Every structure is written in structure tokens, then in C-alpha cells.
């Protein structure tokens, strides 16, 4: 985060010099202040996301579908990695980073699908078809929250790389800077976003699980 803010500061100083306007220094100070505030607000949500995983256990009667999804994710990740290499050698650095980013996400998700206990999924023959359905379609959401730290770091890193490209002159200042700043701000605030998304979407799952629990008790 500190490194990202450092490059943001350099960007605004260079932009102010290039355009001969001191107002961009003010924009830079406000942007940096905003990033620090966002970082302060979001930092506690790392632990909150971990608590969400541990507090919301789901069951699955058989992990065959998870293994199938994991292998599929690995195959797609390999294709995206090759696409990243091809884009890199063609000089399309931004596309290369994007392909690599998605490949890493799929590779990481395969890890939790091979080891469902990481996201608090218990494989049990007592699991009903309804519980299986909920678990299958919520596994992606759990994986999303489980890896929020890494996704946050990848977004910030993408923003830093984009900012370096801008400073080095490979990207236009005014056109590319919103993307760079967006990646950095999105990465810093990602724990908060992940927490809110999980909480909102899991509400529907909780209702369905409660209904299934009542039916089983009756």
C-alpha cells in the first residue's frame, strides 16, 4: 500500500510539471489522503472475512463435482497463462497482466476445490441434495472471500504496474491514470467489498439452509 501511494505521489508531481498546473498537486494530496483513509477503514475486514468463512459451514455428499471444477479451472488457467505469454511477446503488456491475473485466480480457486475444508465445506454422506445445491453454488463465493488478501494484493500490484507504465511514458497520463488509481483503490478497499458481497449474498443461502433444516427436523 505504501509503495502504491508512493507511485501515486510521483504521478501527480510529474503530471503537475507536465501540464504546468499546481492544482494537480492538490489532487494528489487529496488522492493520497483518500487512499490512507480507505486503507484504515478496510484493514479490519481481513479478519472479518476469515470469520465469515469459519462461521458459515456447508456440507456436500460427494466432492466429485468439486474435483471436476478444480481440474477445469486448472485447464482454463493454463490456457490463460499461455495467452498471457503470447500477449507479452506481442507487446500487449496490459492484456498480458489481465490474462495472468485471471489465470492466478483460477489456479487459486482450484486449490480450495481440491481441499474444500479450507473454505469450511464438509464432505458428508448425510448431506441432502438441497444442501449439495447450496454448497456447489456458494463455493465460488467462499473462495472469493477466502482469497481476498491475495486478490487485494494483485489489484494493488496491477495498479502499481500501470502507474509505472504511465510514469515511464508507455501510457498516456490522463487516459490511463483512472485505471491505475482504480486498481489501487479497489485493491485497498477490496476486503470491505468482499465482506459486504458475502454478507448480502449469503443471506439468501441462510434462508434456504434454515428451510432445509426445518424440513429435516420435521
> How does the average pLDDT of the chain come out, rounded?
83
| DSSP state, residue 58 | E
Q: Is 123 helix (H, G, I), strand (E, B) or coil?
A: strand
DSSP of 77-136, one letter per residue? HHHHHHHHHHHHHTT-HHHHHHHHHHHHHHHHHHHHHHSGGGGTEEE-TT--HHHHHHHH
Per-residue pLDDT of the chain (218 residues; tens, 9 = 90+): 777 878 778 877 777 777 666 677 788 788 888 888 888 888 888 888 889 898 888 888 888 888 998 999 999 999 999 999 998 888 777 788 888 888 988 988 898 889 888 888 888 887 777 778 888 888 888 888 999 998 898 888 888 888 887 777 766 766 677 888 888 888 999 999 999 999 888 888 778 777 776 666 55
Distance CA 38, CA 60 (A): 38
- At residue 18, what are phi and psi to the nearest 5 degrees? -65, -40
Query: Residues 133-184: pLDDT tens digits?
Result: 888 888 888 888 999 998 898 888 888 888 887 777 766 766 677 888 888 8
Distance CA 195, CA 42 (A): 10
Distance CA 191, CA 148 (A): 6
The verdict on pTM exceeding 0.75 is yes
Amino acid at each position: 500500500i505504501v509503495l502504491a501511494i508512493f507511485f501515486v505521489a510521483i504521478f501527480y508531481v510529474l503530471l503537475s510539471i507536465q501540464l504546468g498546473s499546481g492544482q494537480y498537486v492538490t489532487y494528489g494530496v487529496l488522492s493520497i489522503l483518500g487512499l490512507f483513509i480507505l486503507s484504515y477503514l478496510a484493514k479490519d475486514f481481513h479478519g472479518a472475512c476469515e470469520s465469515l468463512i469459519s462461521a458459515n459451514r456447508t456440507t456436500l455428499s460427494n466432492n466429485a463435482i468439486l474435483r471436476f471444477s478444480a481440474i477445469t479451472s486448472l485447464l482454463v488457467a493454463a490456457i490463460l497463462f499461455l495467452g498471457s505469454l503470447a500477449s507479452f511477446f506481442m507487446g500487449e503488456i496490459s492484456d498480458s497482466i489481465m490474462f495472468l491475473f485471471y489465470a492466478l485466480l483460477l489456479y487459486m480457486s482450484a486449490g480450495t476445490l481440491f481441499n474444500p475444508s479450507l473454505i469450511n465445506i464438509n464432505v458428508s454422506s448425510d448431506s441432502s441434495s438441497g444442501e449439495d445445491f447450496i454448497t456447489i453454488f456458494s463455493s465460488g463465493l467462499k473462495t472469493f472471500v477466502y482469497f481476498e488478501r491475495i486478490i487485494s494484493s494483485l489489484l494493488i500490484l496491477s495498479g502499481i504496474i500501470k502507474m509505472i507504465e504511465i510514469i515511464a511514458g508507455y501510457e498516456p497520463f490522463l487516459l490511463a491514470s483512472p485505471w491505475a488509481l482504480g486498481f489501487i483503490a479497489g485493491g485497498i478497499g477490496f476486503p470491505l467489498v468482499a465482506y459486504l458481497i458475502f454478507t448480502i449474498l449469503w443471506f439468501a443461502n441462510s434462508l434456504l439452509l434454515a428451510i432445509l433444516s426445518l424440513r429435516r427436523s420435521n
